[in-house]
Amino acid sequence: MNLEIERKWLVSIDRIPYDLTQTNKAALEQAYISFDPTIRIRRVNGGEKQFLTVKARLSENDPLSRREEEFEISAASYDFLLQKHEGTVVTKDRYKIKNTDGLIEEIDIFGGALTGLAYLEIEFPNADVAKKYPSPAWVDKEVTDDPAYTNAALAKYGRPPLTAASNPL
């Protein structure tokens, strides 16, 4: 079993403190075959690799931790499964940066109907480290506990309504 322990924040694109042109970028296209349970397919860099991922919360009371199983699939399998997707296809560019704490920060900048939306996600080695980790000064709002900001919810319902407290633009 793979365990994903992660926190997520909304960010304003113009406040990102990194030069993203000097960072590794992956263009991601992802779609959902099922929202319950969460079954996602993802194409990386236009077909460089394809994956099928199944995610499940360990507990409704623990928004940080999920079980995740990921399998590499062929382009033909991806194309077949894409015909069966629910909701909309989500596109985003992902930038990975190793921060001064040795953790990997993933910055997702969305395209299509979600243009302007950006997240920072950090995966942690355990829940204690995740809970104690301070929010970076440059983020707008933590949305780890907000189900409207999962990628599956974005595919199913679209962009959440923006409020003054959650406007990443």
Q: Which CATH class, in words, describes the domain spanning 2-157?
A: mainly beta
Query: Which parts of the chain fold into alpha helices (H)?
Result: 75-82, 127-132, 151-157
What's the pLDDT at 60? 67
The C-alpha torsion from 44 through 49 and 55 to 61, rounded to 10°, is -40
Longest pairwise C-alpha distance within the chain: 44
3-state DSSP helix/strand/coil % of the chain, to nearest 5: 20, 45, 35
Tens-binned pLDDT, residue by residue, of the chain (169 aa)? 688 899 999 999 999 999 999 999 999 999 999 998 899 999 999 999 999 999 887 766 766 777 889 999 999 999 999 999 999 999 999 999 999 899 999 999 999 999 999 999 999 999 899 999 999 999 999 999 998 999 999 999 999 876 434 444 4
Q: How many CA atoms within 13 Å lie on the side-chain side of 122?
A: 26
Q: Which residues are CB-neighbours of 116 under 8 A, at least 6 positions away?
A: 13, 110, 168, 169
Distance between CA 105 and CA 83 in Å, rounded?
Answer: 32
Q: Which residues are CB-neighbours of 153 under 8 A, at least 6 positions away?
A: 147, 160
What's the pLDDT at 3? 86
Distance between CA 100 and CA 68 in Å, rounded?
Answer: 27
